[in-house]
Structure 1
């Protein structure tokens, strides 16, 4: 197989109907496309079939993406299919929202700089000026948009304007310590990822790790999820947990928690960028990746 050929991903969901696999594989076969990674899942509860197919064109002539799209669209109507075809040579555009904590942002920028993610970062937005030097070092535009209770709607309007102007594919809340309005959550449905510690819902409010310390917790972790109007309760993409014991101070628990936060967040970003995540009501279907 010629690994220099362009890679595409066909993703989507359809009704659970006989012939849906032929729809996918048959269409690729007729266009001389070699499917080398295939994931499917049939949700019996909602009678919905989810699929992700990664493929190369291996024919001798010129590959026609338009022809593949047209033929697949025509046949997909009979299966009530929602689908997308993505050229993986085109990077996703990420807008990052952050406040003062830098551990998640640092990890994302390191992986971006080293090519671990197929992404561009056209903007970093913060309600504080603290991390501007980090953005400047990476030559990424940094927008300092302060927020108060009185200016929240105006500030969110500015955030939304930037997201639209740079044509962002994904918005990442890398420890952005603000609650998004219901309106902005609706606008970002399915394309905004947040991270929070997995001590929730047991330890809410201020100093959750100090509360956990007092209770003698034995596990800390983090949850990466899609943003929803229900705070920290959006569809879950990935979760990580780490064991702790009686020797951990509150500061030790915080450090361990931050490690799980950054790792869970970058894994969720990678899964989303590689089109391995599918919204399925209040849950997700997540196909494995490397």
Structure 2
């Protein structure tokens, strides 16, 4: 029997009956639940749930939404229903360091990451050859103080035209304006080459080396107007020693950054990340 696959993310104030109300309606549609995750934040009394399910081919998205309307209204739920048959579209932004970009493209090529790269955007020409080899549209938009607002409008237009689901800052070394960060909140992921909240801003490996740290790391987070303060999605660390140079730190960091960013993108595109104020709830696949 042909089936359709969906994910639904739900958040609301916690109280009894939420799970039963949702699953009862899904059962009435003939749905089969493939995966279910839930979390109760006791501090805020917020309830978070993600359900992956299949329905018969005859059941369309509109019918699912109508069936869930009573439960959504009853519990004042915030919901997001995602059709898994639609391949997500992404825009990757990069400057001169291309290791994170190349890793994302590789993971897409081998099928671990399910996404379509709608465009690569850069403020330099360095990655044009990579884009052409992958048959991906490349936009080189140099940024300075005079044209920053104009270039960000071009980016917004590109997001709209391509219907991109996510913008990825893969070591894009330009700070997005507060206005753009707000307009695309929850749709832009950045990789910061430090284990936040330590060593924010520029040259974090140099800062870490000067402090003589024994661990370095990388952090993938959503972009907000507050620099390097956005909700954290994924992190990783690696041990370093006093004998290592700044260049050794940077070399080790390149691998960490690439892995962390790819995992964060995968989690987001699989609808496994839910915003919880300044934090995230991440339902990693168990």
TM-score range (shorter-chain normalised) is over 0.9
CA distance in 1, matches of 2:139, 2:96: 14
Cα distance per residue 1:183-204 (max 9 Å; x no partner): 0001111111001122555545
Q: CA RMSD in A?
A: 1.7
Matched, 1:192 2:188: yes
Q: Which of the numbers 22, 25, 31 marks the counterpart of 2:23? A: 25
Distance (whole Å) between structure 2 residues aligned to residue 38 and residue 205 of structure 1: 38
Which whole-Å CA distance do the structure 1 matches of 2:61 and 2:207 have between them?
Answer: 55
Does the alignment pair 1:167 with 2:169? Answer: no
Range with greater deviation from structure 2 (84-93 or 193-202): 193-202
Find 1:46's aligned residue among 23, 44, 47. Answer: 44
The aligned residue for residue 209 of structure 2 is 213
Q: SS of 2:67's equivalent?
A: helix
Q: What is the match of residue 176 of structure 2?
A: 180
The match for 2:126 among 122, 127, 130 is: 130
Deviation track 1:78-123 (CA, whole Å, cap 9, x = no partner) reads 1010112211111111011111110000001111112212211111
Question: Per-residue CA shift, 1:155-179, capped at 9, x if unaligned?
Answer: 1111111111111111100001001
What residue number does 1:225 align with? 221
Whole-Å separation in 2 of the counterparts to 1:16 and 1:205: 37
CA displacement at 1:266 relative to structure 2: 0.5
| Structure-2 separation of matches of 1:12 and 1:51 | 5
TM-score, length of structure 1 as denominator length: 0.93
- Offset from partner CA, 1:231-264 (integer Å, 9 cap, x none): 0110000111111123322111101111111111
What is the DSSP-based 3-state SS (H/G/I as helix, E as strand, rest coil) of the residue aligned with 1:75?
Answer: helix
**Which runs of 5 or more residues in structure 1 are unaligned?**
none
Is 1:247 paired with 2:243?
yes
**2:274 aligned partner:** 278
The whole-number CA distance in structure 2 between the counterparts of 1:48 and 1:209 is: 37
Counterparts in 2 of 1:224 and 1:141: CA distance versus 1, 3 Å: same
If the length of structure 2 is used for normalisation, what is the TM-score?
0.95
Pick which of 266-275 and 160-169 moved more: 160-169
3-state SS, counterpart of residue 176 of structure 2? coil
Distance in 2 between the 1:267 and 1:108 partners? 10
Q: Which of these residues, 95, 112, 115, is aligned with residue 116 of structure 1?
A: 112
Q: Which runs of 5+ in 2 are unaligned?
A: none
